[in-house]
Amino acid sequence: MFAPGAGRPLGAVALLLAVAAGLIAVGVLPHPLAAIGGLILIAGLWAFLAWFFRDPERAPGPGIVSAADGKVRAVDREGDRWRISVFMNVTDVHVNRLPLDARVTEVADSGSGFRPAFQPDAAHNVQRAYSLATPIGPVEVVQMTGVLARRLVSFVGEGWSGAKGARFGMIVLGSRVDVLLPAGRAEPTVRVGDRVRAGTSTIARETP
């Protein structure tokens, strides 16, 4: 299964591949070896895009789950909230999922610049925050850009409701996703360096 929006780039490269193969077949291209090399490069590009836009089906895990695939880069107490930050690299699944049952109350863009997402000052990068109404109170999920990842994709808008593990967006070419949880209702269960998967890996447990 591919992420929403993958059809256009995959289709464009597939069409280019078909045209190039047709030109080779009818002998239009004068240098067969070079043409075949180009064909291999185009096929490799399609394979990379197919891998990048993959979107496997997943059953929601227990507790409060990760919103992104990747490595936990920070678990910080910020006033009355926990911030659990996950860094995504180019090989991770890039579709983001709800950490728990939620209704989107606001989607807001902010920030400027495209610093490396693993650095502390990346908190000021271009970003998109999803404010969520959940059973444990207000939760926020923030998609953050990086040096290469400059396209934030939303599948949903204000007023949308979804179950834990439902897809709400993606980031093209990696970067970072932060989940901010009310400290009075949630306790982190992950540590820096842990590998997590969106929708299935537990990152926190609900507290009374």
Question: CA–CA separation, 114 vs 127, rounded Å?
Answer: 10
In whole angstroms, give the CA distance from residue 131 to residue 139: 6
CA-CA distance, 158 to 195, in Å (whole number)? 30
- Marked catalytic residue, from 85, 131, 175, 201: 175
Buried b (16+ CB within 10 A) or exposed e, 170-208: bbbbbbbbbbbbbeebbebbbeeebebbbbbbbbbeeee
Is 131 part of the annotated catalytic residue set?
A: no
CA–CA separation, 192 and 208 (whole Å): 25
CA 70, 72, 74, 78 dihedral sign is: positive
Q: Which residue has the tokens 């045209």?
A: 19
**Residues annotated as part of the active site:** 175
